Amino acid sequence: MAFNLFKNKKEQSNRPSNNILEKFKRGLSKTRKILTTDINELFSSGKNSDEAILERLEEILISSDLGIEITMNIVEKISKKFQKNSNPEELKQVLKKELLALFPKKSDSTDSRQIKKPYVIMVIGVNGTGKTTTLGKLAMKYTSAGKKVLIAAADTFRAAAIEQVEIWADRSNASIVKHRQGADPAAVAFDGVEASIARDVDVLLIDTAGRLHTQKNLMEELKKIKRSVGKRLKGAPHEILMVLDATTGQNAISQAKLFNEAVGITALALTKLDGTAKGGIVASIANSMNLPLKYIGVGEKIEDLEDFNAELFINALFD
């Protein structure tokens, strides 16, 4: 039986986009303050040359953690369009278009198609990024949409990780599969698939370790989980979602590349955007990895994990 994960009257994306825009604005307030204020000030004295304005713009974009290479490319493109009589609003409009072009073009993602359940999502990322919290918020999004969710607590190495997953399962009305601490994570994931099939579950979320307290290699452990899941259910995991912490800046890209080489990331979630003035990292990550940014975290509340929309994000930075 095929189903659509988001075909439900409670679907999150059915909310008015202006409400999401306002939430983006609040969550990106620190980055907004730098970009809008500093760009406005570029033109305030009337004494700056075009060259000086573009140099200062370059500094502003780098300070937002857009990255040096991307920033220089954007400024070069803007310099060709920059007019002597330009004003802050015109510059912002040109900048918005260039930033929007950094995001990969939309394509049909696996979870928007009619697929056979259970839909398996393997959630990965280093400790401290908000990985398990993001998994819990995802569980809430799915159960709120009327889907039957199961969580596999496959981070068996971190102290209290299983208990944390249990709390999220309880809060989101999801079920859970767990083993004792220190058990084989791949076995937990395998049992999670088994239970999902037996219980007619719609979505299986697999929590994974972000660091091992043994001599085992984390990447090899993640590969083993992926293989184990695929053996029990052909095509699974259907999604490998990596959670990144926006406050770590360019280091997040290095993390993503490392994990991508090991297991092949299919989508990204970026957390803690409300806690940084370096919101440019969103565009930098999307462009550098050429992977869809699926979710962004703009606050601590359960509902503050939002489906990412590049156009709304760019508008929230400047409008």
- Give tens-digit pLDDT for 147-178: 999 999 999 998 789 999 999 999 999 999 99
pLDDT tens figures, 3-24:
566 555 444 444 445 687 887 8
What does the block give as tokens for 193?
């698939």
pLDDT tens figures, 225-278:
999 999 999 999 999 999 999 888 888 899 999 999 999 999 999 998 887 777
pLDDT tens figures, 32-52:
887 777 777 766 655 566 778
- Cβ neighbour number for residue 116 with a 10 Å cutoff: 12
